[in-house]
C-alpha cells in the first residue's frame, strides 16, 4: 500500500493545501494529513479546529486521514511505516527550502519526498496571508475551502 504523509500546520487549511491533497489522492492508496504541533508557535486556530476543517473538507474522500504529531516528520513517518512525504511547491523559494528538507529526511530514513506544483489559481495562497486577511477583517473565504470559517 502506497501511503503518503502531507505534513504542515494547516493554520488554516487553504485552497492550495486542498488542491495538493486532491491531486495526490490518485497517486496514493492513503494520504495522511499530519498537523505538526510546535509548542513554540502561536496558532490562530486550535488543533481541534484545524483537524475538523480538514476532516470536513475531505469527508467525501475515504483515502484521506487526519492526525496530529510532535517531533520530526521523518520520525513520525517511520513510526507509521510511511515511505512517502507529499509536499506542494508554489515557487522557486519553496523548492530550495523543501529540497534541503527532503535531502535531510532521506539521510535520516528511507523516505522519498514527492513534490506537486500548485495549480496556477492557488499558487499565491499561503496560510500566513490568509491569517493576515482574517486579522484585518478581509474576505478570506476566497482563499479557503467552504467549511473553513472563523467563529464570530
Q: Which of 3, 17, 50, 87 is catalytic?
A: 17
Whole-angstrom distance, CA of residue 16 vs CA of residue 118: 7
Please indicate whether residue 41 is annotated as part of the active site.
Answer: yes
Rounded-to-integer distance, Cα 59 and Cα 95, Å: 30
- Whether 127 is catalytic is yes
Q: Which of 52, 63, 65, 90 is catalytic?
A: 90
Is position 87 annotated as part of the catalytic site? Answer: no
Active site residues: 17, 41, 90, 127
Amino acid at each position: 500500500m502506497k501511503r503518503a504523509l502531507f505534513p504542515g500546520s494547516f493554520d488554516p487549511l487553504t485552497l492550495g493545501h486542498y488542491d495538493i491533497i486532491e491531486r495526490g489522492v490518485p497517486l496514493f492508496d492513503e494520504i495522511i494529513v499530519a498537523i505538526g504541533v510546535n509548542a513554540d508557535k502561536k496558532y490562530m486556530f486550535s488543533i481541534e479546529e484545524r483537524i475538523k476543517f480538514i476532516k470536513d473538507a475531505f469527508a467525501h474522500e475515504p483515502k484521506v486521514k487526519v492526525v496530529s504529531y510532535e517531533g520530526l516528520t521523518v520520525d513520525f513517518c517511520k513510526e507509521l511505516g510511511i515511505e512517502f512525504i507529499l509536499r506542494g511547491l508554489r515557487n522557486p523559494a519553496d523548492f530550495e527550502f523543501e529540497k534541503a528538507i527532503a535531502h535531510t529526511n532521506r539521510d535520516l530514513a528511507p523516505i522519498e519526498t514527492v513534490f506537486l506544483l500548485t495549480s496556477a489559481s492557488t499558487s499565491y495562497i499561503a496560510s500566513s496571508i490568509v491569517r493576515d486577511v482574517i486579522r484585518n477583517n478581509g474576505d478570506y473565504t476566497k482563499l479557503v475551502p467552504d467549511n473553513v470559517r472563523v467563529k464570530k
